[in-house]
Amino acid sequence: MEKYENLPAADAALDITDAVCPITFVRAKAALEEMEAGAVLALRMNDGEPVQNVPRSVKEEGHRILKLADNEDGTYTLFVRKVEEA
């Protein structure tokens, strides 16, 4: 499938399509806290508020957004690299 080409390799994946904001970010933050620095998390989320808010919130936490991929089914996958904690 072409839409999945050139995506970062994820060390872990989390599907938060069943959650609503702000729970989406809370679950993403908890997943990132359990990961080692440098690891990549793939977050599958719904279009709308999650796509608008989760990337911004993750970035504010200091993590690096690698890619936001449109899954073409009303969901997106956000690839995030965990940064080393200060």
Active site residues: 21
Amino acid at 12: A
Q: Which residues have CB under 8 Å from 42's CB, separation 6+? A: 8, 10, 12, 13, 14, 77, 78, 79
